[in-house]
Amino acid sequence: APVIGVLALQGDVREHLIALAAADAVARPVRRPEELAEVDGLVIPGGESTTISKLAVLFGVMEPLRARVRDGMPVYGTCAGMIMLADKILDPRSGQETVGGIDMIVRRNAFGRQNESFEAALDVDGVPGEPVEGVFIRAPWVESVGAGTEVLAEHEGHIVAVRQGNALATSFHPELTGDHRVHALFVDMVRANRAAESL
């Protein structure tokens, strides 16, 4: 089974570890460069993107992470994790950096405070069957994408799921629902990448 890390600096790490294990991956927390070097793919969880960014720099994993994403390691970011994968943030806080990897511009807290949390049924490309229950918690949306970035889902005209090559991002939190289909999609991406690398 593919070994998939969850960046374990801040955020809902445990929920992703559980969802990945349910989707037949070997899941483990990653904090340090040595741990990052041992995984076939990585999830960046939901949480607070400025905090995750600062801790990634502090723990010395920001640069190694950028390098692995550039090299094509599959990566999946939810909510704050989506923000971390954006090549550009519209309204970064001071000291906030991103890993990048997806040619998109993301707006933080875009769905607004009056609605800090809501759920919506979403059709997500690549996830067959019933709609995915999207849990949005002070969620970002994708303001715009470049030509190489695929839009996988929208909510009320706003882009909430994207993929560029081996990088996947959702504004919402499939790890909180018990429906592991989005994680299964990511595990398949990691499997396919491993197979391609061993050719």
The catalytic residues are 79, 173, 175
Cβ closer to ligand GLN: 52 or 190?
A: 52
194 in a labelled binding site: no
Residue at 32: amino acid letter: R
Burial of 58 (0-12, 13-18, 19+ CB in 10 A): exposed
63 in a labelled binding site: no
* 2 binds ligand GLN, rule: CB under 6 A: no
108 in a labelled binding site: yes
Cα distances (Å, whole numbers) of residue 89 to 17, 83, 102, 182: 27, 7, 11, 24
138 in a labelled binding site: yes
Give the β-pairing of 41-44 and 75-78: parallel
Near ligand GLN in 13-72, by CB under 6 A? 46-49
**Alpha-carbon distance 156 to 75, whole Å?**
26
Residue at 53: amino acid letter: S
198 in a labelled binding site: no
Residue at 164: amino acid letter: Q
* 188 binds ligand GLN, rule: CB under 6 A: no
* 143 binds ligand GLN, rule: CB under 6 A: no
- Compute the C-alpha angle 105/14/33, nearest 5°: 65
Pick from 16, 107, 108, 181 the residue near ligand GLN by CB under 6 A.
108
* 77 binds ligand GLN, rule: CB under 6 A: no
- Residue among 77, 76, 99 nearest 89 (CA): 99
Cβ closer to ligand GLN: 109 or 177?
A: 109
> Where does this chain touch ligand GLN (CB under 6 A) — which range of 19-27, 75-83, 121-129, 174-182?
75-83
* 153 binds ligand GLN, rule: CB under 6 A: no
**Alpha-carbon distance 90 to 46, whole Å?**
18
Q: How many residues bind ligand GLN (CB under 6 A)?
A: 11
Pick from 28, 31, 109, 151 the residue near ligand GLN by CB under 6 A.
109
Cβ contact 87:148 at 8 Å: no
Query: Which residues contact ligand GLN by CB under 6 A?
Result: 46-49, 79-80, 83, 108-109, 137-138
Return binding residues for L-glutamine: 47-49, 108, 137-138
